[in-house]
């Protein structure tokens, strides 16, 4: 047995330590929001390598985004656990597909479709349909849902009868567009991201020799965010694993918010039935939020499948989250902007404040109100940090300088190049657009926060690695974000706006399952807050429609859940 006193595990709490010591056999770590699940996961892998339980190269840690995979790799590197492989499902599948395609199929691997929307638009033109940008995005989501659910087009046509279709399109029209999309793709010898998973699974199913080689490489599997796994990803994991049971899954059923992409928490919830002797570890000590925030989160999810009871580790006496109501959306946005400006004036850093909402269009009034008050603001996912011309210019200049003078003082060079690009200590003294100044300022601040002795060459490499992993630097601005984009993040202060029927739950959530997904979205929003949480809604929408408060707000006041299958009138 591993040594329980290993100094590597000294900084873990008892439950995290239990998880880190569960090295063999099936393990499920049920980890609530803010409970240190990534810490437990990475220490477990590092501990397994350090004790010799895992051999280098035999561990495959799987997650869902390149950013999350990069964070896993960096944490493992810091722990001296470079012997583990951390990848997304897509990256792992693509590596195998590229390796074996020439022998199994012949020729080079087909190129990837970088942007589904362009091919979907062509399919729409062929069907004599003019498709807006929003409809193209919705159609791309339908394609992804169909493939990750492993539905044929015929099965999709049946299953889609209960799904909201892209605006203005019938199920038959959506099926027709998908048929045309697949034909265009095949004619040009292209694969989309979901095809990569399907093709890899098909190759492993049909080629025993390839399957044996893949299984000989990895023996120990870890899957983060297991509540987000799709049927297709689960099948791939089963193919990789075979009849071996050394698999550890980590997840929280209360944070399942991507069902529209094919994700399902059913695999997490039935893990103990699939593996009756599984080691079950619950992480419920929350290190993020105040007791009052956690009380709200626990009440919202009480009695729901897989819900965990989050326990505070702080006795902070911050005020109880309040609910404000306003006459309309504009009044709500202005009041929130006033409250944000007051906090910033009192010393709260803008990047420690977030305003969360259900749909992107809610950001318009909020951004306008914040800009009027001189508050720096950025919308999460709306702009690409490393694609800004000012950032590209600075990074390019740093690379040139690093090649000729790799050991030069990093901080001075960064500051000098940023000034040449137009950056100044105060934004009002710069001629740059605010977005560009904020980005350059983030790079300067990042260089100042790094330890002494970091070379210019290493700093340049760090920026390149972050760009490749889509891991943007923190800009000093208030964050506007949808609830979906906020998952996995946290802020000192969170404003949850637009909590009315029709927005949360969204108007097309008509089934019990749909309402439950909306509940989990609100739970994710609540658990992003560290110290302060403010909730609000407005009586009149942007188009003059009358609104009622969200059923979830009414539940939180009364403590009694409404029936999930009903809607407010």
pLDDT tens per residue, range 518-529: 999 999 999 999
Asked if residue 553 lies in contact with residue 499, where contact means CB atoms within 8 angstroms, the answer is yes
pLDDT of residue 534: 94
Query: What is the per-residue DSSP string for 356-374?
Result: EESSGGGHHHHHHHHHHTT
Burial of residue 95 (CB within 10 Å: 0-12, 13-18, 19+) is middle
pLDDT digits (tens, 9 = 90+) for 364-391: 899 999 989 989 888 886 657 788 888 8
* Res. 2: pLDDT tops 60: no
pLDDT digits (tens, 9 = 90+) for 61-78: 999 888 888 889 989 988
pLDDT confidence tier of residue 306, bands split at 50, 70 and 90: very high
Strand order across the 322-328 sheet: 322-328, 529-540, 491-496, 353-357, 478-482, 377-379
* Res. 556: pLDDT tops 70: yes
Mean pLDDT (the chain, rounded) = 88
Asked if residue 61 lies in contact with residue 45, where contact means CB atoms within 8 angstroms, the answer is yes
| Alpha carbon of residue 37 to chain centroid | 15
Residue recorded with tokens 């265009």: 184
The more confident residue out of 264 and 542 is 264
* Res. 451: pLDDT tops 80: no
pTM listed for this prediction: 0.85
pLDDT of residue 317: 64
Residue recorded with tokens 């950013």: 67
Quote the CA–CA distance of 16 and 36 in Å, as a whole number: 8
pLDDT of residue 318: 67
- Segment 81-88 shows an average pLDDT of 89
* Res. 48: pLDDT tops 50: yes
* Res. 130: pLDDT tops 60: yes
- Segment 92-102 shows an average pLDDT of 93
The more confident residue out of 113 and 407 is 113
In the chain, the percentage of residues whose pLDDT exceeds 70 is: 95
């Amino acid at each position: 047995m591993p040594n329980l006193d290993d100094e590597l595990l000294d900084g873990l709490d008892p439950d995290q330590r239990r998880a880190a010591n569960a090295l063999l056999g099936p393990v499920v770590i049920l980890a609530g929001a803010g409970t240190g699940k990534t810490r437990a996961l990475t220490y477990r892998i590092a501990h397994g390598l350090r004790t010799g339980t895992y051999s280098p190269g035999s561990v495959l840690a799987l997650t869902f985004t390149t950013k999350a995979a990069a964070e896993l790799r960096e944490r493992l590197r810091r722990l001296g656990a470079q012997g583990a492989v951390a990848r997304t499902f897509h990256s792992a599948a693509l590596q195998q597909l590229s390796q074996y395609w020439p022998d199994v199929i012949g020729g080079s691997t087909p190129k990837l479709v970088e942007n589904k929307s362009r091919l979907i638009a062509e399919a729409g033109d062929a069907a004599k349909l003019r498709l807006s940008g929003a409809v193209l995005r919705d159609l791309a989501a339908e394609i992804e849902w169909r493939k990750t659910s492993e539905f044929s087009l015929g099965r999709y046509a049946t299953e889609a009868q209960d799904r909201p279709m892209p605006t203005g399109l019938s199920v038959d029209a959506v099926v027709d567009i998908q048929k045309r999309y697949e034909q265009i793709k095949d004619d040009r010898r292209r694969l989309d991201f979901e095809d990569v998973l399907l093709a890899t699974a098909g190759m492993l199913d049909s080629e025993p020799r390839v399957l044996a080689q893949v299984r000989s490489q990895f023996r120990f599997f870890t899957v983060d965010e297991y509540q987000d796994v799709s049927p297709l990803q689960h099948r791939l994991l089963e193919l990789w694993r075979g009849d071996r049971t050394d698999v550890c899954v980590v997840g929280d059923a209360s944070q399942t918010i991507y069902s529209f992409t094919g994700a399902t928490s059913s695999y997490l919830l039935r893990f103990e039935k699939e593996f009756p002797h599984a080691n079950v570890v619950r992480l419920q000590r929350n290190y993020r939020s105040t007791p009052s925030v956690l009380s709200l989160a626990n009440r919202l999810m009480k009695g729901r499948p897989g819900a965990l009871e989050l326990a505070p580790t702080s006795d902070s006496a911050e005020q109880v989250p309040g609910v404000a109501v306003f006459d309309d959306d504009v009044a709500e946005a202005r009041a929130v902007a006033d409250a944000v400006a007051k906090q910033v004036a009192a010393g709260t850093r803008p990047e420690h404040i977030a305003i969360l909402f259900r749909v992107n269009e809610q950001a318009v009034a909020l951004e306008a109100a914040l800009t009027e008050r001189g508050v720096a603001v950025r919308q999460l996912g709306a702009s690409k940090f490393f694609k800004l011309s000012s950032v590209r210019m600075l990074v390019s200049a740093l690379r040139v300088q690093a090649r000729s003078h790799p050991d030069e003082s990093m901080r001075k060079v960064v500051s000098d190049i940023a000034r040449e690009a137009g950056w100044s200590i105060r934004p009002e003294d710069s001629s740059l657009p605010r977005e560009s100044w904020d980005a350059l300022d983030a790079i300067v601040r990042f260089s100042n926060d790094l330890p002494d002795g970091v070379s210019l060459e290493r700093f340049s490499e760090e920026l390149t690695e972050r760009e490749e992993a889509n891991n943007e630097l923190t800009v000093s601005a208030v964050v506007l974000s949808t609830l979906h984009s906020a998952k996995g993040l946290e802020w000192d202060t969170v404003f949850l706006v637009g909590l009315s029927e029709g927005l949360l739950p969204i108007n097309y959530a008509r089934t019990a399952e749909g309402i439950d997904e909306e509940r989990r979205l609100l739970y994710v929003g609540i658990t992003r807050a560290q110290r302060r949480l403010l909730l609000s809604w407005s009586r009149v929408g942007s188009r003059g429609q009358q609104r009622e408060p969200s059923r979830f707000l009414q539940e939180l006041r009364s403590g009694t859940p409404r029936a999930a299958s009903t809607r407010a009138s």
